[in-house]
Structure 1
């Protein structure tokens, strides 16, 4: 039995906005209320705020290899999509590149306090070894000690091929498991077309069948600018009308972005039980809109937070995006308080993945936690150290990150891999 006790923190954020002081105790990677501490490993959290590990509910890890590409910033999405597709084709997306990009993106995530990443993988070249690509991402996560939600996406893929690939991936990565989550909770598989702007009803239908057969979560992107424009042009209907007609609004579905939604649509989303993911670090700088998070939450939707990919955001720093979400919320409604946005980046994101054991530090939850040092000059004069996590120090990184009771970042450095090697290997592959 492995017992870990974290003590001496300035504050402990349990989840749901609850803040306390005292110890955080885990046994064999699970948070407990009390335990025999005779042989416990003690961790000193003096000067730190302790939170649950952040949960990035929407990423595109492949795009870690394609950041700040010329001609991809501040342009309409109709132009951005083919520009990125051309870059993928030139590089040659295969299991090697998928694994190296995932390794870099996941290493960045851990160093920024993100312990779980949902990777919505949308790029599948014709004839590609799709199982090999998925396995490469999963192997990268396992080696680093990060939790991965691998989403077999589709973007103009042949519907039959996409469904067959999704089925093969879940059978290969999670053999004999129904429900889409490994026994240790470190790997999850889901399915998700890019959106109605790129994928047909047949793709949604067939990936939905794979989800039902294996008990997987379903995810897609909806109501960014181009999504609405193309849906109206092609179908004479808005994206959410189509998703409702196609059976893709339900408690097992999470929709990313939702920048352009009406009050009636929000009410329909809430009634369906769907959850949402806000991605301001992508949508705001690209000029693609701001999701009305206050209205979504007030309607009863669970709302998580995601960075989206490096092709539009350039960073996988979820806490920085939480800060941005808090700041831009005032442009579309009442400003969201820091505690609420922090909850979105933890429990809210976890709920959208169907993973209530993540994003919290309550008994029975996974022992995924971050120690954020708030004792330095960047936090000098801060009256509320929890609010200060978002308001102060925009580039803040955690001192220590623990996943399932295992220390994966210590004193701001990875314990499971060499950061310089990760960077060098990705650059070597991309520049070939």
Structure 2
């Protein structure tokens, strides 16, 4: 196999077996898909040598929660949109409106373009491992493989759907089989992912949301995850509406109810996990949901941006970390920019906690690397160490937005973001170079997605309970000028 050497890197985020550390003027070498050397003085023979004098070498980021097949479509539509009578969430009234064609049917032609845009954004922001939580679509596996990402395919399914007839009451329509058929279809996707020739795919069992899945489907899904030795993820504690619905049905908080079903564990991820019993919006007698998560080693998949746009956030990320919860990060909205999500985690946690020291930037970077790897049961990703996968990101520390370089990862998180990322390797294969995605047509997909968005706009009125058009629901920032 060929050996690639990053020689005399200015900075390396290296893993010492317990934590990330900084190395200076160090070599990183990988052969095939494995790292074979981290530190000074690589003595082996390199097939390819990269001058590391102006580079930071860091591990690829691990994204544990994303919806590439749908979220890029809503750019410009969903930026500042929430239901005022449903506690500011956009899930129930608005999210279902903008994913269809003019006739109200799902638009499958938009999905590949949406996914391509998301995968490209993720690669450009240093993500090398992605949990893709999409509703299964034709060609999904091959399209994902073409991106070059390391994938955890997580096809979502549920027992019923939510809807509102008036904008202030959420109702549920239940399938006769309670989701058995969609679950079976999802398991078939997981079988195919495990056998995919790319060798970079695995699976995750993901019943969609706690309030759209019956207790039987949730328990059966968790048992299937255990049988397959896969992670398990469910959206829970993601809205005040959902919190009220679960407490109304069961007299327990969402976390408490999941615990009663026996589905909290070290293989479990809670998508969002915001509205716990300590959150000021729930006004629930304190019982300590946080301790339940600690005691069961359950991970929280935090996706800050989509909620912060609606005035919602964890209380607080730093508190979850201090309590000992494994925290990981995802991108539940456009742009699929992992570094922006990291920045939002850090700043908003301090704002809500009213404390500059509520968390450290190292907590955030750990969540985006080691925390995500732990959630997926992997000890070979999210770190630069001998024997780990060659999922490596090269950051240009000479980029003007990185300078002055006193602490390069801080400079990347708070200033440069993805602009300074030069090269990305996944499994030792170069997928980004010179800040350009090598595996997908990002620009072409963006143009196709814009066309699909224009088509979707025409279908909004037919789907909305109040028969409003898209401009009534989400007006443009400025009114039309004279002659427009």
Q: Tell me, in whole angstroms, the C-alpha distance in 1 between the residues paired with 2:235 and 2:315.
A: 12
Structure 1, unaligned runs of 5 or more: 124-129, 176-181
The answer to whether the 8 A contact 2:60-2:382 is kept is yes
Counterpart pick for 1:47 among 54, 63, 71:
54
Correspondence 1:255 to 2:266: no
Q: Which residue of 1 aligns with 2:151?
A: 148
Q: Tell me, in whole angstroms, the C-alpha distance in 2 between the residues paired with 1:186 and 1:386.
A: 27
Higher mean C-alpha displacement, 320-329 vs 96-105: 96-105
Q: Which residue of 2 aligns with 1:8?
A: 8
Q: Structure 1-normalised TM-score?
A: 0.88
Q: Which residue of 2 aligns with 1:401?
A: 424
The alignment's C-alpha RMSD in Å is 2.4
Correspondence 1:105 to 2:118: yes
The answer to whether the 8 A contact 2:269-2:375 is kept is yes
Q: Tell me, in whole angstroms, the C-alpha distance in 2 between the residues paired with 1:316 and 1:409.
A: 16
Q: Tell me, in whole angstroms, the C-alpha distance in 2 between the residues paired with 1:320 and 1:394.
A: 7
The answer to whether the 8 A contact 1:72-1:80 is kept is no
Q: Structure 2-normalised TM-score?
A: 0.79
Higher mean C-alpha displacement, 68-77 vs 358-367: 68-77
Aligned residues: 412
Higher mean C-alpha displacement, 363-372 vs 7-16: 7-16
Q: Tell me, in whole angstroms, the C-alpha distance in 2 between the residues paired with 1:364 and 1:207.
A: 33
Correspondence 1:206 to 2:220: yes
Counterpart pick for 1:293 among 302, 317, 331:
317
Cα deviation digits, residues 30-56 of structure 1 (max 9, x gap): 111277632421112222211111111
Q: Tell me, in whole angstroms, the C-alpha distance in 1 between the residues paired with 2:36 and 2:197.
A: 19
Q: Structure 1's 270 and 184: CA in aligned 2 closer, same or farther, altered over 3 A?
A: farther
Q: Structure 1's 325 and 106: CA in aligned 2 closer, same or farther, altered over 3 A?
A: same
Q: Structure 1's 343 and 412: CA in aligned 2 closer, same or farther, altered over 3 A?
A: same
TM-aligned CA deviation for residue 72 of structure 1:
6.0
Q: Which residue of 1 aligns with 2:257?
A: 242
The answer to whether the 8 A contact 2:5-2:46 is kept is no
Correspondence 1:88 to 2:102: no
Secondary structure of the 1:82 match is coil
Correspondence 1:18 to 2:21: yes
Q: Structure 1's 273 and 86: CA in aligned 2 closer, same or farther, altered over 3 A?
A: same
The answer to whether the 8 A contact 1:266-1:296 is kept is yes
Cα deviation digits, residues 114-164 of structure 1 (max 9, x gap): 11111122x4xxxxxx4xx1x623222211211121112234444212221
TM-aligned CA deviation for residue 297 of structure 1:
2.0
Q: Tell me, in whole angstroms, the C-alpha distance in 2 between the residues paired with 1:79 and 1:284.
A: 12
Q: Structure 1's 6 and 291: CA in aligned 2 closer, same or farther, altered over 3 A?
A: farther
The answer to whether the 8 A contact 1:225-1:289 is kept is no
Q: Which residue of 1 aligns with 2:129?
A: 116
Q: Which residue of 2 aligns with 1:67?
A: 75
Alignment of 1:353-432 (within 5 A): 353-394=376-417, 396-432=419-455
The answer to whether the 8 A contact 1:282-1:308 is kept is yes
Q: Tell me, in whole angstroms, the C-alpha distance in 2 between the residues paired with 1:8 and 1:347.
A: 25
Q: Which residue of 2 aligns with 1:268?
A: 292
Looking at secondary structure, tell me which structure has more helix per residue.
1
Secondary structure of the 1:245 match is helix
Higher mean C-alpha displacement, 68-77 vs 26-35: 68-77
Counterpart pick for 2:305 among 281, 287, 296:
281
Q: Tell me, in whole angstroms, the C-alpha distance in 2 between the residues paired with 1:184 and 1:364.
A: 20
Q: Structure 1's 228 and 43: CA in aligned 2 closer, same or farther, altered over 3 A?
A: same
TM-aligned CA deviation for residue 368 of structure 1:
0.7
Structure 2, unaligned runs of 5 or more: 161-177, 279-286, 456-484
TM-aligned CA deviation for residue 315 of structure 1:
1.1
TM-aligned CA deviation for residue 267 of structure 1:
1.4
The answer to whether the 8 A contact 1:224-1:288 is kept is no
Q: Tell me, in whole angstroms, the C-alpha distance in 1 between the residues paired with 2:412 and 2:78.
A: 33
Counterpart pick for 2:186 among 166, 171, 179:
166
